[in-house]
Amino acid sequence: MAYAATKRKRGQDRFSDKPASSSDSTIPPRLSRHKVREFHARCRGFLRFRSLVRRNKTTKPTSNLFGYKFDSSKPVHEVIDLVDEDSSIEQAAQVVEDDKVEKEYSSPCRARNDEKGSYLRVPLIRRSPRLKKKRAEVSRELFLPLKEEEDAQVKSAFSVRNRMKVLVLHKNSGIEIRGETLQCLKPCAWLNDDVVINLYLELLKERETRDPQKYFKCHFFNTFFYVKLTRPSYNYKAVRRWTRHKRLGYNLIDCDIIFVPIHGIVHWTLAVINKRECKFMYLDSLNGSDPTILTAVIFVPIHGIVHWTLAVINKRECKFMYLDSLNGSDPTILTAVAKYFVDEVKDKNGKTIDISSWGMEYVKDLPLQQNGYDCGLFMLKYIDFYSRGLGLKFSQTNMPYFRVRTAKEILRLQAD
């Protein structure tokens, strides 16, 4: 009987509202029934919340042979339909890049957040009513991890024994890729090879030809075009024959977007060791950054940084665009590109196009590079995403994956 009474008393003390004795500081304070029930309710709410935001039960990120990590648990931004007759590509792209979609909230399951009665609302991504059941997983398609055999193929192409070997030959353009040429796509390498970039642009054009309903009608100039057009000064006659209808099968005025890679801008920067203020400094007039440049001298002029940027003739939106992964701007580039487009339309179509109402946009809200060697890859992904009609939804952390994926596409002579 004494044991039962003691047990009953302990059970009553367990849920007692009285605070613990101050004489023994190691004993935690007792919780009331209300507090215990609230604690368990919040735990159940958290578990339901986690089940809503989780897209895949496997939360462990997978890594390939080259060290980059692909987290398969990351949610797909949106699933859209690019073959719907009632919706255009720009409408489908708007679903992906519209931030307002992610700001619309619904709360089928609410977890109490505090004693004042506020609730944690669970964000849900709605689907656009404009789009039908046939849907393409655009966001997931852009970040699909490589298969094991594809990883092995790229690793073999990067190996030393294949440096002098011809890996692929593109028959339509006559471009061949050797092992030493492909080295520029290895991690931390500088993508400064015109051959690799020009072949990838050829593959993007072939991708559009295979599935014209899925991509904008684009023209991709190679890396030699702008140099030929502007060196030593603007000369339309030097590139007049590059866009003959017999050669292309279409006129530039029929395209939605025209891409012009810009190469060969030599840029001066400055590295400083400021001993008075005990700090290292890097000064770039284009607002760029490169942690590898700072060295152990007081003033270091940095010369010879060859940078890749992109000019775009956006006929759909009637504007000329300039994209720089270092967030720079150069008015002379867009002026030359605009003048070329007027001369081209007049020469090939016999029309005088009025571009006085066209805008000139130096795109600022775009992914920026955080090092000194990824500018070429950023330029290629700007082209890739824009040709799909999508916003630039990637960042510096995706560059190791894009390097291996680009190498895989080149080795298979097919852009995904």
Which one is predicted more confidently, 406 or 78?
406
* In 275-396, beta strands by DSSP E: 279-284, 299-314, 319-323, 359-362
Residue in the structure block whose two tokens are 């680009």: 406
| Catalytically annotated residue among 284, 290, 324, 384 | 284
Residues 127-149 as b/e (b if ≥16 CB within 10 A, e otherwise) read ebeebeeebeebbeebbebbeee
Contact 125, 80 (CB under 8 A): no
Is 284 annotated as catalytic?
A: yes
- Higher per-residue confidence, 110 vs 209: 209
Domain residue ranges in the chain: 146-411
- State how far the Cα of 181 lies from the Cα of 176, in Å rounded to an integer: 9
Q: Which fold has domain 146-411?
A: Adenoviral Proteinase; Chain (3.40.395)
Cβ atoms 370, 117 nearer than 8 A: no
Verify whether residue 267 is a known catalytic residue: yes
Looking at residue 139, its pLDDT comes to: 61
Which residue bears the tokens 């519209």? 98
Is 168 in a helix, a strand, or coil?
A: strand
pTM higher than 0.85: no
CA atoms within 13 A on the CB side of 385: 22
Residue 167's pLDDT band (cuts 50, 70, 90): very high
Q: Is the pLDDT of residue 76 over 60?
A: no
Given 170, 267, 330, 343, the catalytic residue: 267
HEC readout, 304-315: EEEEEEEEEEEC
Catalytic residue among 263, 374, 375, 384: 375
pLDDT at 22 over 60: no
Whole-angstrom Cα distance, residue 376 to residue 366? 15
Structure tokens at 125: 């991504």
Omega of the bond leading into 232 within 30 degrees of 0 (cis)? yes
pLDDT tens track for 31-74 = 666 666 777 766 666 565 555 545 444 444 445 545 555 554 44
